[in-house]
Amino acid sequence: MKTTSRKQTIAFAIEYAKTLKLGDIILLAGDLGAGKTTFVQGLAIGLGLDVEVTSPTYAYMHSYADKLYHFDCYRLKSGAEAEILGLTDYFDANGICVLEWAENIAEVLPQNCKKINIQKVDENTREIEVL
């Protein structure tokens, strides 16, 4: 799926949110500036949450209404570290987890995670792949 504006990516994420069930875990991949946080803003809207989504870089995880859990694993070095911080507990919290840089904690990820890859094509174009 190709989007040509931030708004279109949000619209796509709103639609995608409708396919989710509580307990789902989504691995969201893409380089810096690809649109991962933008995508999560759309997920929040699609889940009916009236919240401002910001990057959880320094907090590791932001919880929105205990329904949407947004992780940034960029600064984690291992799955063990995620466990020590209690982050992995949220996988079983019956919300929807969306993870950026999940590869850093690969050993502790549950099976059957959903995957979204976002690639920057040019300034305003993104290729979004749902796996």
- Other Cβ atoms closer than 10 A to 126: 24
62 belongs to the binding site for Mg ion (CB under 5 A): no
Q: Site map for Mg ion, 12-51, x if CB under 5 A?
A: ------------------------xx--------------
63 belongs to the binding site for Mg ion (CB under 5 A): no
DSSP codes joined into one string, 28-60: EE--TTSSHHHHHHHHHHHTT--------TTTS
95 belongs to the binding site for ligand ADP (CB under 6 A): no
Q: Site map for ligand ADP, 28-47, x if CB under 6 A?
A: --x-xxxxxxx---------
| Contacted entry of ligand ADP, Mg ion, none for residue 5, CB cut-off 5 to 8 Å set by kind | ligand ADP
Number of residues assigned to the chain: 131
For tokens 């919240």, the residue is 51
**Cα 32-38-41 angle, rounded to 5 deg:** 145
| Site of interaction with ligand ADP (CB under 6 A) | 3-6, 8-9, 30, 32-38, 124-126
